[in-house]
Amino acid sequence: VTEGESGIDESNLTGEAKPVEKRTGASVSSGTLNGWGRLVVRVTKAEKDSALHRIVALIREAQESKAPAQRAIDRWGDSYALFTLTASAAFFGLQLWLGRPAMGGEDSALYRAMTLLVVLSPCALVLSVPSAVLAAIASGARHGILFRGGAAVERLADVDCVCFDKTGTLTAGEPAVAALEVFPASADRRRALSALLSIEANSTHPFALGIVKACQDEGATTQAVTGLSNSPGQGIAGTVEGARWSVGSREFVGGHDLPGAPVAAGAIVSEVWASDGSVQVRATLVDAIRPASAPTLAALHHQGIRTVMLTGDREEAAAVAAQQVGIQSYRAALTPDAKMQAIRKLSAEGHVVAMVGDGVNDAPSLAAADVAIGMGGRGSDAALESSDVVLTDDRIERLLTAIDLSQAARRAIRVNIVISVGAACTMAAIVIFKGAPLTLGVAVHEGSTVIVCLNGLRLLAHRARRGV
């Protein structure tokens, strides 16, 4: 920074919800967002050496270790088709060797070989996987879940460890007012909050919208403000109903040392003060936990799935968030690379790991996970690009529905394989050892194909989990 002062939102890179103040001489990173002030910055590194570019490089490095799951299935299907043709030709030759006529009726070698070819044809087997997977993808879209391909559906069913980012994933990611206090208690609360509302309505600070809403919820009304003056990095001042009010840091407004607000220690993101010299207002802001976070984690624990929180936020905030949501373990103050290494360590321990995140700092760990799950509502482009599954409406409880869908798809696939292979083997044995009409072979073959497709399509009626 060569000129100016401002608050920088670094949550995309670090997970820290509170804007970081930057003044002349401070360094800023690419991928962060400027807040309330004006900055003139000098570029000190080439694009390839920037923090954002390093994160993108980590994403590509992690993604290179992945292979599409469908390749093995496609190769096996090709081999099976070749086996079917070879087996039918060999059976035709065997029938000729046993003395059957080449053609001429149901007992001919050609007729029995053609019947075997029909019953062994891999139509039902080939459709057993895509019918279930495509239905799961379509059903997920109806529930606000975007599966980016069949491999994501298959892998999610095997997940036994889910890692979460904190800011914007388990929490709302938007600091909200937890307490509004007016001192002394005998002061006119509505007048004080109306003054705070009126001045903050003219502020561009990231906390202003939350404070305005909280004041309005308490019945405060907007009053005329004159003589507005802004002190970058400190606060804003203005005259309301003849009184000069200052709003900002405690030092800026001259706030007195007062008892702490009724908010869990460590959960405080910041305090905003207001004073006219005789009356003080303290707004305590927190990054609120999503209401569905704790029930979602409890449901995962009930399924035997391990949960871990990986965050770049400070230790105190991470500890409070972990306690509030009931997560099993957490690590704080992690860089994007450290998050990725933590994911790889869990994978090396034998876990099938899913990572849920939304920020640029989550992108490398998302790419390193077996299943990457992005929060689509406020997620960064880098995070969503790395995601195998996207929760499009940012509802964390959708994760449970996604897991349920993937497990239902796996069960449907297994049933489909049993049906298709069982029908083919049974009819093949009948054709080889006893003989069967071609019409029966066609009926069993087509019937098993239809049954497999219908079994997969059952997933279209899948319902989202209730009670979370």
Q: CA 92 to CA 292: how far, in whole Å?
A: 63
Angle, helix 398-433 to helix 438-457, in steps of 10 degrees: 170
The amino acid at residue 392 is: T
Question: Which residue in the list 158, 165, 388, 394 is annotated as catalytic?
Answer: 165
Identify the burial level of 14 via C-beta atoms within 10 angstroms of its C-beta, where 0-12 means exposed, 13-18 middle and 19 or more buried.
buried
Q: CA 192 to CA 218: how far, in whole Å?
A: 11
* Pairing of the two strands 329-331 and 145-147: unpaired
Q: Is residue 394 annotated as part of the catalytic site, yes or no?
A: no
- Kindly give, in sequence order, each residue whose CB lies less than 8 Å from that of residue 304, ignoring residues fewer than 6 positions away: 160
Q: CA 101 to CA 91: how far, in whole Å?
A: 13
CB 376 within 8 A of CB 397: no
Angle in degrees, CA 224, 225, 226, rounded to 5? 125
Q: Which residues are catalytic?
A: 165
